[in-house]
């Protein structure tokens, strides 16, 4: 019959073994995470996040200018609401960076710089207070939304592929808001602004 001391040392040995296998599992998980972080796809994903993080910030600024430049209250309101949503997009991106254990950083997005510049040109080439100005602003804003839709659409799929489920959910919520904004812009163009602009001299 085993003595109490033998029993104690047997259970201590078992505990040590358990600790060792737990440490091995943690090490394995750590290695897997490091491998994941070294992969080209992960680096590409992080780069794309930095690009859209820069873009959202630039869009926030541009929306303010578009709101001031718009003629109708209707369009001003759309731009105002989308500024609030854009602030949420920025904070969601910060959460996504955190979820994948990366630091939020901005990387210049040349595409959005160009699209925003085009919007500024439209403001400069249309008369203040005109409906044609709003027609131009809607088209400029839709180019921004379409850029975002393409980007978030790709990022959601990539996050799913890489098993970043929570990140995919957050990116998908933003994608839906970009799509809704795009539809809203189409609706106000079709139901009033384009028609009113046509009546203009």
Binding site for Fe ion (CB under 5 A): 86, 89, 148, 178
* Dihedral, 182, 91, 55, 99 alpha carbons, nearest 10: -110
Helix axes 110-125, 131-161, angle to 10 degrees: 170
Quote the least distance from Cβ 106 to Fe ion, whole Å. 14
Quote the least distance from Cβ 143 to Fe ion, whole Å. 11
Quote the least distance from Cβ 15 to Fe ion, whole Å. 52
Q: Choose between 45 and 132: whose C-beta lies nearer to Fe ion.
A: 45
Contact 49, 168 (CB under 8 A): no
Distance CA 122, CA 193 (A): 16
Quote the least distance from Cβ 60 to Fe ion, whole Å. 8
Q: Choose between 51 and 148: whose C-beta lies nearer to Fe ion.
A: 148
Q: Choose between 34 and 186: whose C-beta lies nearer to Fe ion.
A: 186
Q: How many CB atoms lie within 10 A of CB 82?
A: 25
Tell me which residue has its CB nearest to Fe ion: 89
CB neighbours of 174 closer than 8 A, spacing ≥ 6? 88, 89, 92, 93, 148, 152
CB neighbours of 191 closer than 8 A, spacing ≥ 6? none
Q: Choose between 132 and 136: whose C-beta lies nearer to Fe ion.
A: 136
Picking from 184, 179, 195, 174, the residue whose alpha carbon sits closest to that of residue 75 is 184
Q: Choose between 36 and 60: whose C-beta lies nearer to Fe ion.
A: 60
Quote the least distance from Cβ 165 to Fe ion, whole Å. 21
């Amino acid at each position: 019959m085993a003595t109490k001391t033998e029993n104690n040392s047997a259970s201590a040995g078992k505990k040590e073994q358990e600790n060792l296998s737990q440490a091995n599992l943690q090490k394995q998980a750590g290695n897997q995470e490091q491998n994941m972080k070294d992969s080209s796809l992960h680096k590409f994903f992080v780069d794309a996040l930095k690009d859209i993080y820069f873009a959202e910030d630039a869009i926030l600024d541009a929306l303010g200018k578009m709101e001031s430049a718009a003629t109708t209250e209707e369009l001003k309101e759309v731009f105002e609401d989308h500024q609030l949503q854009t602030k949420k997009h920025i904070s969601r991106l910060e959460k996504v960076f955190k979820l994948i254990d990366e630091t939020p950083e901005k990387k210049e997005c040349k595409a959005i710089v160009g699209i925003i510049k085009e919007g500024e040109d439209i403001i400069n080439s249309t008369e203040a207070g005109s409906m044609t100005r709003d027609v131009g602003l809607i088209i400029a804003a839709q180019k921004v939304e379409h850029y975002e839709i393409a980007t978030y659409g790709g990022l959601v799929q990539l996050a799913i592929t890489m098993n970043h489920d929570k990140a995919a959910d957050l990116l998908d919520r933003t994608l839906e808001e970009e799509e809704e904004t795009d539809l809203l812009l189409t609706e106000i163009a079709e139901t009033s602004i384009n028609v009113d602009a046509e009546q203009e001299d």
